[in-house]
Amino acid sequence: MPPRSRTIHTLGGPIVFLALLMAPLPSVPYAVRGSLGLLIWMSWWWIATPVDLAVTAFLPPVVLALFNILPVTRILPAYSEQLVFLLLGANMLSAVWRRWGLDRRIALWSLAAVGTGTRQQIAAWFIVAAVLSSVLPNAVVAAAMMPVVIAMLRFIGIDAIGQSTFGSALLIAVAWGTSVGGAGTPLGGAHNLLTVQFLQDRVLHHEFLFTTWVVRLLPITLLAVVASVSFTVMSLRSDQERFEGTRAYFAQELRALGPMSMPERLGLGFFAAPTLLSFTRGLYGRVVPGLTPAVGFIAFGILAFVIRWKSEPLLEWNYAERHMVWGLIFLFAGGSALGQVLSETGTAQFLADRLVPLAGNGGFLAVAVFAFIGMFLTQITSNTAAAAIVVPITISTFDRLGVNPVPFVYLVGAAVNFGVMLPSS
């Protein structure tokens, strides 16, 4: 980036923040103005990248402390919440793969199975992520898939992912796939289950069948997946159309590796075990409520430092810290902190309240407005927080209008799954 552009982008975010904070708008509370300014500042820096993405993630506690928008203690837990530890544990286990060559084996398998075309790879990983996220929490799917994708990229020589259009496109495809596919079933995340709960308690007053959700929303989800895959493949153009070699070549290379070594088997098992525990939590959650997905990944990450093969540990800390994606962990935490700020200050509710009157008396305008509200809020706060804000407003609004709110709740339930614009999504 040229020095002049870097200076403009570096100063632009804080200038907008200060302008909003000091704007003479008595009808807009100080905390809301500050939160909106912080949202614009962080979004600007995340998009223009005058500093590293991970650095931007540390703005919330500094800004809150200096400008007294919200007590810092309210958002600090976002930097140590369970999903941060889930990512940390998954990174430890992926470092085991790299150390013992399992990443190479997985990469060869992927290239042999899917093919060497970059568009094929992008589409395949997007669809796999979307299918898995329809029945599993988005963050768990992403944590399970990202190390596999990164392993493949490293094998074909892409270590600096941010400098590779294909590397970036593949990771974005997984991230978008986990979001878009989540609307397929109520099991796609806590936000879907919360929406179901609102329908049962405030509208239907009887049990809402999961099959009803699938019948109503699966067609929308399939259309969204097809449209998103097409857009992703066309817009995230790779710097090359195909990798060197053919499927037969990669299959031959895979056979040349021979059988998996014991460290490889252990590395694969250590990753598969917490992933399976995460996916089957409903079977044991009541018996061992503390064994969350995050705890499972961290536990097996620790085990990798303890277990030895021929007197050598599977993983050593000096190796692990050099090969973990620290920036991704901090970026997730910063996005979560920003969402917490917007929720705690009432900014998300403030924005939703201003948009509701635009719904009119129902019809297409109402569909457009409430779809926009759901998708907008899920960009700046968590999916669950967005559902918690928008679904009750949707029900209340259409009850007052004398319109059946159920179709609009379905609409909002789908919309809060489409958070793909910002890391805070």
3-state secondary structure of 351: helix
Q: What is the pLDDT of residue 18?
A: 95
CA 174 – CA 186 distance, rounded (Å) = 20
In this structure, of 25-39, 336-350, 372-386, the range with the lowest mean pLDDT score is 372-386
pTM above 0.85, yes or no: no
Q: Which long-range contacts (CB under 8 A, 24 or more apart) does 146-149 make?
A: 146/90, 146/94, 146/171, 146/174, 146/325, 146/328, 147/90, 147/91, 147/93, 147/94, 147/97, 147/271, 148/106, 148/110, 149/125, 149/174
167-214 per-position pLDDT tens digit: 888 888 888 888 888 788 776 766 777 787 778 777 777 766 667 777
50-70 per-position pLDDT tens digit: 888 788 889 999 999 999 999
Q: What is the pLDDT of residue 361?
A: 66
Name the average pLDDT for the chain.
Answer: 81
Q: What is the pLDDT of residue 58?
A: 93
CA 81 – CA 385 distance, rounded (Å) = 15
Q: What is the pLDDT of residue 190?
A: 66
The dihedral built from the CA positions of residue 374, 378, 381 and 387, taken in this order, carries a sign that is positive
300 contacts 270 by C-beta, under 8 angstroms: yes
Share of the chain above pLDDT 70, in %: 89
Rounded to whole angstroms, the maximal C-alpha distance in the chain is 72
31-43 per-position pLDDT tens digit: 999 998 998 898 8
225-235 per-position pLDDT tens digit: 888 888 888 87
Average pLDDT of span 358-362:
68
| Residue 325 banded pLDDT, cuts 50, 70, 90 | confident
Alpha carbon distances (Å) from 419 to 182, 194, 380, 416:
10, 17, 8, 7
DSSP string of 45-79, one letter each residue? HHHH-SS-HHHHTTHHHHHHHHHTSS-GGGTGGGG
